[in-house]
């Protein structure tokens, strides 16, 4: 069973969480043409290997996290609060 | 060349069990170049190769499979075929596919064991009945069989459901497509492989594609674990691995790879005579010829290439089974397994050209890719041969989101990761 260590609640089964999607950087509001927004909304890197993705601890503290995970092996790394990941401007691909 | 199967050849083998059947398809080494190379020897890759040769006379074709034929989702699914789709684009495509299924054993001279046992979708409240009535009307306007069932008719066909006052989801009625049913999934891969091989297509197993050969921005071939192969046209048909392969040509796709599990119980006497789908959840059940109850549900719910299912889905699917059919509560689960699938934002696939010259894509099959195999192979072959879409796959283009052409058929069971 996949286990995720929530920074607030500790290690829990993944079924307490909701998967958000891979981490993408949203273009600033009011900027970019249609293609920029199309690519942001619809396209994914969907890597086979290490990735960073959003999860929400819906059945716990309801916080959004950024989780390191390997999609090929399911090995789970660290989860950090999503707002910290975003403020370090590391939320991009 | 494989000999055609006939009643006489079956009888001869039955009387001489010591003489083995000849190999069903050739096993050649790859040539240095082909007119068309197809990456992925699943149902879609093999069907496309067959129709390229049979419908368009393009026989200098190779199918490259990294493992063995039938090892992917074509042999991992719950084998349901039906054409009860509701929205424009999907409805004619899946009906064309079902019509091809109906003649496929003859076309391929290989018994794919189509069993048109009928598929019943259940309704648990009056508004679901309204939706089913509307869906049935749309299907009938397209010349597709559909029949609305009231509660009494469902009780007659499916006496084993929970009709008690305590039922968590009361059965109000349902809809049946009599021509829907199941197909022997391995036979689909084997039948297309054999028929394509007979027409000259090279099927190259245990050969992994590792990269594209690009010249001036065009794809001119692929690198594989069995060497470099040049190709006039290259086609991707790798089921859950589309993103991973397309990325090698610099393409990002509107796709996330997710796991879908299937489950089989220990064998029991004949009980479930149709394919039944639960209107309260995405849960469906049928009984295999060996007696096992075969059932499936939703995807695991997060991007994944590991092909290992997670336990919570086993539990959800078992809960659905027991709330619909309390009589199965003491049955043991024999096996469960997972397949990797491309999930798209609207639940519909991609069959067609890509922005990269000479590169074609068949992928994004979500939950419905098995029933689609014949029509997908037919239309994909058309696109590869003519360089433009067939009228039946025009709606499945890669740029449909940019053009506002989403094909969201929620009413008939496509659910994406957005849920
Ligand atoms: C559990 C489950 C239940 C399902 N139930 C149904 C159902 O009831 N009805 C329905 O219509 N659909 C169903 N589906 C969906 C359906 O099975 C798939 O959409 C469909 O089979 C996918 O197409 P395919 O058969 O060509 O894929 P596959 O058989 O997976 O073929 C793709 C092939 O590409 C090969 N490949 C990948 N990468 C490479 C590479 N680099 N080089 C060479 N080869 C490569 C793989 O080894 C594989 O053999 C189900 C799927 C699952 C997982
Ligand atoms: Zn938490």
Mean residue pLDDT across chain B? 94
Arithmetic mean of pLDDT, B78-82: 97
**Per-residue pLDDT, B408:** 83
Determine contact: B254 vs chain A, CB below 8 A.
yes
Residue A91 has pLDDT above 50, yes or no: no
CA quadruple B54, B58, B59, B60: dihedral, nearest 10: -160
pLDDT by residue (tens digit) across B132-170?
999 999 999 999 999 999 999 999 999 999 999 999 999
Does the beta-carbon distance from A72 to B305 stay under 8 Å?
yes
Residue B414 has pLDDT above 70, yes or no: no
Q: What number does the ligand 1 atom closest to the CA of B224 have? A: 42
Does the beta-carbon distance from A42 to B345 stay under 8 Å?
yes
Residue from the list B241, B255, B306 with its beta carbon closest to the beta carbon of A73? B306
Q: Which residue did the predictor score with more confidence, B64 or A90?
A: B64
By three-state DSSP, how is residue B150 classified? strand
Domain ranges across chain B: 27-79+185-255+346-403, 114-181+257-341
**Model-level pTM?**
0.96
**Per-residue pLDDT, B419:** 46
Query: What is the tally of structural domains in chain A?
Result: 1
Residue B77 has pLDDT above 80, yes or no: yes
**Per-residue pLDDT, B20:** 81
Chain A residues with beta carbon closer than 8 angstroms to that of B402: 34-35, 38
Ligand 1 pocket member B371 (CB < 6 A): yes
Is B114-181+257-341 assigned to CATH 3.30.9.10? yes
Ligand 1 pocket member B272 (CB < 6 A): no
CA-closest candidate to residue B48, choices B363, B300, B395: B363
**Per-residue pLDDT, A36:** 95
pLDDT by residue (tens digit) across B314-370?
999 999 999 999 999 999 999 999 999 999 988 999 999 999 999 999 999 999 999
pLDDT by residue (tens digit) across B238-292?
999 999 999 999 999 999 999 999 999 999 999 999 999 999 988 999 999 999 9
- Distance (Å) from the alpha carbon of B402 to chain A's nearest alpha carbon: 6
Q: What number does the ligand 1 atom closest to the CA of B79 have? A: 8
Residue to substitute from A20, A21, A42, interface B, most B β-carbons within 10 A: A42
**How many CB atoms are located within 10 Å of the residue A13 CB?**
14
Does the beta-carbon distance from A46 to B257 stay under 8 Å?
yes
Residue A90 has pLDDT above 80, yes or no: no
Q: What is the CA radius of gyration of chain A?
A: 14
Give percent of chain B with pLDDT exceeding 90.
88
* Residues A76, A60 contacting (CB under 8 angstroms): no
* Residues B86, B409 contacting (CB under 8 angstroms): yes
Residue A87 has pLDDT above 70, yes or no: no
pLDDT by residue (tens digit) across B176-211?
999 999 999 999 999 999 999 999 999 999 999 999
Q: Which residues of B366-378 are buried (b: 16+ CB within 10 A; e: fewer)?
A: bbbbbbbbbbbbb
Residue B416 has pLDDT above 80, yes or no: no
Nearest bound ligand to the CA of residue A64: 2
Ligand 1 pocket member B190 (CB < 6 A): no
pLDDT by residue (tens digit) across B89-114?
999 999 999 999 999 999 999 999 99
CATH number at residue A11: 3.30.2270.10
Residue B225 has pLDDT above 50, yes or no: yes
Substitution candidate for ligand 1 out of B43, B68, B77, B283 with most atoms within 8 A of CB: B77
Determine contact: B210 vs chain A, CB below 8 A.
no
**Per-residue pLDDT, A92:** 43
Chain A residues with beta carbon closer than 8 angstroms to that of B244: 46-48
ipTM: 0.92
Class of domain B27-79+185-255+346-403 as given by CATH = alpha beta
Range of the domain at A23: 3-89
**Per-residue pLDDT, B18:** 79
Spatial separation of the C-alpha atoms in residues B258 and B281, rounded to whole Å:
19
The Å distance, Cα A57 to ligand 2 centre, comes to 5
Residue A93 has pLDDT above 70, yes or no: no
Residue A84 has pLDDT above 80, yes or no: yes
């Amino acid at each position: 069973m996949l286990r995720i260590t929530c920074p607030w609640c500790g290690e829990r089964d993944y079924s307490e969480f909701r998967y958000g999607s891979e981490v993408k950087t949203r273009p600033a509001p009011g900027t970019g043409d249609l293609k920029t927004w199309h690519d942001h909304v619809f396209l994914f890197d969907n890597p086979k290997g290490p990735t960073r993705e959003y999860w929400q601890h819906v059945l716990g503290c309801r916080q959004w996290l950024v989780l390191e995970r390997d999609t090929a092996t399911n090995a789970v790394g660290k989860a950090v609060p999503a707002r910290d990941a975003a403020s370090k401007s590391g939320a991009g691909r | 060349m494989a000999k055609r199967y006939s009643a006489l050849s079956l009888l001869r083998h039955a009387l001489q069990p010591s003489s083995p059947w000849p190999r069903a398809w050739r096993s050649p080494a790859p040539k240095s170049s082909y007119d068309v190379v197809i990456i992925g020897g699943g149902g879609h890759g093999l069907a496309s190769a067959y129709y390229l040769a049979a419908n368009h006379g393009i026989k200098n074709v190779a199918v490259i499979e990294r493992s063995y034929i039938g090892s992917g989702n074509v042999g991992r699914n719950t084998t349901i075929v039906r054409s009860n789709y509701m929205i424009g684009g999907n409805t004619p495509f899946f009906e064309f596919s079902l019509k091809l299924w109906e003649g496929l054993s003859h076309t391929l001279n290989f018994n794919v064991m189509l069993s048109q046992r009928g598929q019943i979708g259940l309704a648990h409240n009056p508004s679901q009945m309204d939706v089913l009535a509307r869906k049935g009307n749309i299907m009938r306007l397209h010349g597709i069989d559909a029949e609305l069932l009231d509660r009494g008719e469902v009780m007659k066909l499916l006496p084993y459901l929970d009709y008690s006052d305590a039922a968590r989801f009361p059965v109000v009625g349902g809809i049946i497509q009599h021509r829907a049913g199941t197909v022997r999934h391995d036979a689909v891969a084997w039948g297309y492989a054999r028929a394509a091989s007979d027409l000259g297509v090279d099927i190259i197993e245990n050969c992994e594609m590792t990269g594209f050969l690009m010249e001036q921005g065009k794809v001119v071939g692929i690198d594989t674990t069995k060497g470099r192969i040049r190709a006039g046209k290259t086609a991707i048909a790798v089921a859950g691995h589309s993103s991973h392969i397309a990325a090698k040509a610099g393409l990002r796709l509107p796709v996330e790879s997710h796991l879908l599990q299937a489950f089989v119980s220990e064998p029991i006497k004949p009980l479930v005579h149709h394919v039944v789908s639960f209107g309260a959840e995405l849960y469906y059940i049928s009984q295999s010829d060996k007696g096992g109850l075969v059932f499936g549900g939703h995807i695991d719910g997060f991007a994944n290439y590991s092909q290992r299912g997670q336990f919570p889905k086993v539990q959800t699917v078992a809960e659905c089974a027991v709330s619909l059919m309390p009589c199965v509560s003491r049955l043991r689960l024999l096996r469960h397994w997972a397949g990797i699938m491309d999930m798209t934002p609207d639940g519909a696939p991609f069959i067609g050209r890509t922005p990269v010259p000479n590169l074609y894509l068949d992928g994004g099959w979500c939950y419905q890719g098995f029933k689609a195999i014949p029509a997908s192979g037919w239309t994909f072959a058309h696109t590869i041969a003519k360089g433009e879409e067939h009228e039946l796959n025009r709606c499945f283009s890669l740029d449909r989101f940019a053009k506002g052409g989403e094909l969201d058929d929620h009413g008939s069971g496509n659910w994406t990761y957005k849920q």
